[in-house]
Amino acid sequence: MKQRPADDYVHVSSVNWQPFPGEFSGGGIRWKLLHVSPEVGTWAAIFDCPKGSSFASHIHIGPGEYFLTKGKMEVRGGQEKGGATASAVGYGYEACNARHDQTHFLEDSEFYMTFLGPLQFIDKEGNTLAVVGWEQAQALWAQQTGQS
Ligand code: ZN
């Protein structure tokens, strides 16, 4: 008999920010991993993104939903290049296989995101640098916070 997965609650303000790895971002982005769901392969996190910061090129292997609570974020090149320029408070859905060559923050920003699958970080030629799913996110978070 399998166990029902556990429910969870996180008081976000009580969790310390951790640096998001420099290989995946630039400009001082920090994160808090809020939940991982092995049963559906999802993970949820909140990100603190200073003005001028950005995420490195990646592909959303599964779709993702975000909720921008503060600031301004350019996704897929921003509105001028056919993407989205999100302003707080904003919600967005990124479809399966969405490629984000640069996600850029025009102001000090904060957003929550649920990843329905891994992120594949890529180089300019599209070669895989890393695949970050719930297991890798959880392992990184455990390492950063000294949990095991
Ligand atoms: Zn993205």
What tens digit of pLDDT does each residue of 79-116 get?
999 899 999 999 999 999 999 998 999 999 999 999 99
Cα 100 to ligand 1 centre (Å): 5
Cα 88 to ligand 1 centre (Å): 17
pLDDT confidence band for 2 (50 / 70 / 90): confident
**Average pLDDT value for the chain:** 95
Whether residue 6 lies inside any domain: the answer is: no
Cα 107 to ligand 1 centre (Å): 17
Q: Which residues have C-beta within 8 Å of that of residue 142, sequence separation ≥ 6?
A: 148
Whether residue 26 lies inside any domain: the answer is: yes
The residue range of the domain holding 61 is 21-142
Whether residue 15 lies inside any domain: the answer is: no
Q: What is the structure's pLDDT at 77?
A: 86
Cα 59 to ligand 1 centre (Å): 7
User: What is the number of other CB atoms lying within 10 angstroms of the CB of residue 147?
Assistant: 8
State the Cα torsion 13-38-61-89 to the nearest 10°: -30
Mean local confidence (pLDDT), 58-68: 97
Whether residue 12 lies inside any domain: the answer is: no
Whether residue 71 lies inside any domain: the answer is: yes
38: CATH: 2.60.120.10
Q: What is the structure's pLDDT at 107?
A: 97
Full-model pTM: 0.95
Mean local confidence (pLDDT), 125-142: 96
Whether residue 73 lies inside any domain: the answer is: yes
Cα 140 to ligand 1 centre (Å): 18
Percent of the chain, pLDDT > 70? Answer: 99
Whether residue 83 lies inside any domain: the answer is: yes
Q: Domains in the chain: how many in total?
A: 1
Burial of residue 129, with CB atoms counted within 10 A of its CB: 0-12 exposed, 13-18 middle, 19 or more buried:
middle
Whether residue 125 lies inside any domain: the answer is: yes
Q: What is the structure's pLDDT at 102?
A: 83
Is residue 148 predicted with pLDDT exceeding 70?
Answer: no
